[in-house]
Amino acid sequence: MKLCVSEESQRLDRLLEDALAREARLWKAPVLENDLIQGTDICLIQHQEVILWLREMNTAFQFCQETYALAVCVLNRLLATVKAQSKYLKCIAITTLILAAKINEEDEVIASVKDLLAQSGCSFSTAEIHRMERIILDKLQWDLYTSTPIDFIHIFHSLLLTAHPHLLLLPAAQKRPCFQAELWTRQVQHCMACHQLWQCRGSTLALAIITLELEALTPDWFSVFIELLNKAQIESSEFIKCKEMVDEYLSSLEAPLPANAVYIFNSACVTKYQPLGLEPTQVARWRPKGQPRGKRNGHRPGSHGEREVDEYYDGFRCLYDGIASVGECYGDSRNVGVEVSPCPPLQPHIS
């Protein structure tokens, strides 16, 4: 069994190395200049709208999610390479989706170009799409298959489950769906429409999304995260910036309560706790900057591999703005005792 796990781990390591090599060779992102993509008359709103429209078309054509991600990557590479005009943007976008489908999809899944155009509601002719295909292929040297964020989601997910299968057995995993590549894939798709995240490589974006899940799932998230960071060879400063933007962006997508929501006090939800008497250096609870989407916690890794982890720990200190002992927990149900939380939870009243 150990031999099988080792072989699988080695295979995944090779897959990750190949994906990183393709990304390093082909990844390119548009540059913004005065709210326009440099060298074009395409504004941010137009780009975001066409990315969202591509996602709708990908669903309508019943293509896989990898096809959508590849189409967006090809589109961004092209916009970073040529001086495109906004009047051709939709034609370029639908053509990148068709090209991505030819790479990822089975032949029987792909309808004819004429049928795809009719289904999409586009007024372009088949000849125009074929001409655009040739232009895109020529400009990108016929090398379209770059590594996408979804590729890295699948690789990282497999690496985690191979090296840390116990994560699926944690109590948090029994209360809610977690460690699901499908969930992370949907989050990646949302992030790919965000212009602030254009400059993040797919590997960095995927790892940022997974790390946010790790923080919410286990106090030992940091040591697990460090393994992935080392394998992915991502600069810590690049990752920190991406992670903060991802957390802020995904938070903004959460549906707010109605403006006239009524809150009622629920005494059954008052959390009592008792400090455990541990020093902050033994067990620490950190709160990320920017009031992230959930109460994220993490413990500083123990003595195993301590020197290596500490180097990254110091580099990531700027992610957090304060330290509190476990006694100052934020409604943690594990700490039952004497004191009552000074701020009981409020819940929206559902009429």
The answer to whether residues 22 and 30 touch, using CB atoms and an 8 Å cutoff, is no
Share of the chain above pLDDT 90, in %: 44
Token digits of residue 175: 């209360």
Token digits of residue 73: 């990557």
The amino acid at 96:
T
What's the CATH number of domain 28-139, 2.40.480.10, 1.10.472.10, 1.10.2020.10, 3.90.1150.10? 1.10.472.10
The answer to whether residues 187 and 152 touch, using CB atoms and an 8 Å cutoff, is no
What pLDDT is attached to residue 195? 85
The answer to whether residues 136 and 74 touch, using CB atoms and an 8 Å cutoff, is yes
For the chain, the structural domain boundaries read 28-139, 149-253, 268-348
Higher pLDDT, 182 or 57: 57
Average pLDDT, the chain: 76
Kindly indicate the confidence band of residue 255, based on its pLDDT and cuts at 50, 70 and 90. low
Token digits of residue 280: 């902050």
What pLDDT is attached to residue 6? 79
Residues 6+ apart with CB under 8 A from 346: 263, 264, 265, 266
